[in-house]
């Protein structure tokens, strides 16, 4: 299958996923009795408190244009691109947090990158230990043959559940979404995107630097459902 046809196919799948999520919300959602707004507000405040400069990394906010983000009205859509002073290295840190666990189903790397014309070339479990926090996730690589893009992207990805868990498996999120109470607190997804040609150790060090720098935001999401 050509990259062009693969992109069109993935875009159609994305549209189907989004339609399914919206149908589920409109027809099947039962309102929770939980008042989660104080928690959602804490997450929003944590996002606004992240500084633009992290050591040698200087950031700029980048709008997220993926249709899932706009359509699902996320509580937080944090997206920032950092450049390292004195080098040409870059990293993009994204955290999307919805007020409903099901929000993530249309926005994770195997879906959203393919919909934008990238072809997934690899996927493997990943794990990071930062500041005493163990994070489970996935490591993806995507390729593209367009001249206006890097040829290879590396995406370190993990989901954050408000009951203190992290994971790289969407099935875990879907299972949690079956619980009305847990669903009301939502969940978040983190993507750390780097040049896919970096050495594995450099990629790992950058990801851990970004997790450390955004740990207050990650922690705010982790500790919502404390009952």
* pLDDT on residue 111: 84
Percentage of residues in the chain having pLDDT higher than 90:
52
- pLDDT tens digits, one per residue of 128-150: 999 999 999 999 999 987 766 66
* pLDDT on residue 69: 63
**Residue 104 to residues 13, 57, 142, 145, 161, Cα–Cα distance (Å):** 15, 28, 20, 28, 11
On the question of pLDDT at 11 being above 60, the answer is: no
* pLDDT on residue 201: 97
On the question of pLDDT at 5 being above 50, the answer is: no
* pLDDT on residue 22: 43
The DSSP-derived string for 55-107 is TTEEEEE-----HHHHHTT-SEEEEEEEEETTSS-EEEEEEEEESSGGGGGG-
The more confident residue out of 36 and 86 is 86
CA distance 42 to 97: 12
Q: For residue 105, give the nearest of 224, 219, 16 by alpha carbon.
A: 16
Contact 151, 117 (CB under 8 A): no
DSSP-H helix ranges across the chain? 3-27, 37-48, 67-71, 109-115, 170-176, 180-185, 200-213, 215-222
* pLDDT on residue 32: 46
- pLDDT tens digits, one per residue of 65-78: 766 566 666 899 99
On the question of pLDDT at 4 being above 60, the answer is: no
The more confident residue out of 163 and 71 is 163
The total of other beta-carbon atoms located within 10 Å of residue 53's CB is: 11
On the question of pLDDT at 97 being above 80, the answer is: yes
On the question of pLDDT at 21 being above 60, the answer is: no
Mean pLDDT of 25-45: 69
* pLDDT on residue 68: 58
* pLDDT on residue 138: 97
Percentage of residues in the chain having pLDDT higher than 70:
77
* pLDDT on residue 148: 64
Mean pLDDT of 191-206: 96
> Beta partners for 82?
59, 91
CA distance 175 to 167: 12
Domain residue ranges in the chain: 3-222
């Amino acid at each position: 299958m050509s990259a062009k046809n693969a992109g069109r196919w993935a875009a159609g799948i994305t549209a189907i996923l989004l339609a399914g999520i919206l149908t589920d919300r409109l027809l099947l959602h039962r309102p929770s009795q939980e008042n989660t707004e104080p928690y959602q507000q804490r997450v929003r405040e944590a996002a606004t408190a992240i500084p633009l400069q992290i050591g040698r990394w200087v950031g700029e906010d980048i709008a997220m244009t993926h249709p899932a983000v706009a359509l699902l009205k996320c509580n937080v859509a944090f997206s920032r691109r950092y450049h390292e002073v004195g080098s040409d290295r870059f990293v993009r840190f994204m955290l999307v947090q919805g007020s409903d666990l099901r929000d993530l189903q249309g926005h994770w790397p195997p879906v959203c990158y393919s919909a934008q014309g990238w072809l997934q070339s690899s996927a493997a479990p990943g794990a990071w230990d930062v500041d005493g926090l163990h994070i489970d996730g996935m490591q993806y690589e995507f390729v593209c043959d367009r001249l206006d893009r890097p040829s290879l992207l590396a995406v370190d990805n993990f989901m954050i559940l408000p009951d203190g868990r992290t994971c790289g498996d969407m099935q875990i999120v879907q299972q949690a979404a079956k619980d009305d109470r847990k669903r009301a607190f939502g969940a978040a997804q983190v993507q750390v995107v780097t040049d896919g040609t970096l050495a594995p150790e450099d990629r790992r060090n950058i990801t851990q630097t970004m997790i450390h720098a955004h740990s207050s935001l990650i922690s705010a999401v982790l500790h919502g459902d404390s009952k």
